[in-house]
Amino acid sequence: MKLIYVMDPLCGWCYGNYRNTLQTAENYKDIPFEIIPGGMWAGANVRKQSKQMAAYFIKHDEQIAKLTGTAFGEDYFKFINAQEVLLDSEIPSRAIVTVQEFWPEKNVTFAAAVQKERYFYGKDLNLDLTYQEILDSLGIDKEVFFKHFHSVEMKAATQAAFAKAADYAMSYPTLLLDTGSELLLIEQGYSSLEEISNRIESHLSVQ
């Protein structure tokens, strides 16, 4: 049995959901928690930030903050007005895949921290420097991380994760419970922590 969380590090709703994700992983820490990044802005879908995109983001971010109570930082709103910054999900997704592969017990905390770097602190997820402070805070060896992060193997593993995400979810965030015999939908889009917990408990009670 395991929980499967399909998300994207450049998905605003996934950021809005990050506290629920952390708490769910903590509440059910005896159940393995797998994160599968979806590659929303990857490959042919990579874009550059623009004033038009910033206006689009802000409109949706206001809705996300209102519904989830998750704060978007002032530095983030400054950052999204920067021109020519690439929106490429592959890079932060590869960072998440790398941590999950080599430090699986820290995958949920790391993924949440990556999202917060962009959406609260206004950091560029394309840069190695952005990840260094997170790695230090989690006690992950930076040299070992970056060796794997830049490897052909982790790039291939990230593409495999994108393909897997497409099989599991139509939208982000999606949380599934894999019982070993079936996949049960727990969350698609944003749900409250209480709703998530109630759905998990209802399924666990019949296993």
SS (H, E, C) 29-78: CCCCEEEEECCCCCHHHCEECCHHHHHHHHHHHHHHHHHHCCCCCHHHHH
Q: Report residue 107 as tokens.
A: 């995958």
- Residue 96 resides in a domain: yes
Other Cβ atoms closer than 10 A to 93? 31
If the chain, 207 residues long, is cut into consecutive pieces of 10 residues, what is the mean pLDDT of each piece? 98 98 98 98 94 94 98 97 92 99 99 99 98 98 99 99 97 97 96 98 89
- Residue 58 resides in a domain: no
Q: Tens digit of pLDDT for each residue in 71-111?
A: 999 999 999 998 889 999 999 999 999 999 999 999 999 99
- Residue 78 resides in a domain: no
- pTM of the entire structure? 0.96
- Residue 102 resides in a domain: yes
Going by the DSSP 8-state scheme, the letter that residue 174 receives in this structure is E
Query: Given this model, what pLDDT does residue 206 score?
Result: 81
- Residue 156 resides in a domain: yes
Query: Given this model, what pLDDT does residue 84 score?
Result: 84
- Residue 81 resides in a domain: no
Residue of 60, 44, 61, 47 whose CA lies nearest to 162? 44
- Residue 52 resides in a domain: no
Residue 120 belongs to domain spanning: 2-45+88-204
Number of domains making up the chain: 1
- Residue 39 resides in a domain: yes
Q: What is the CATH number of the domain that holds 129?
A: 3.40.30.10
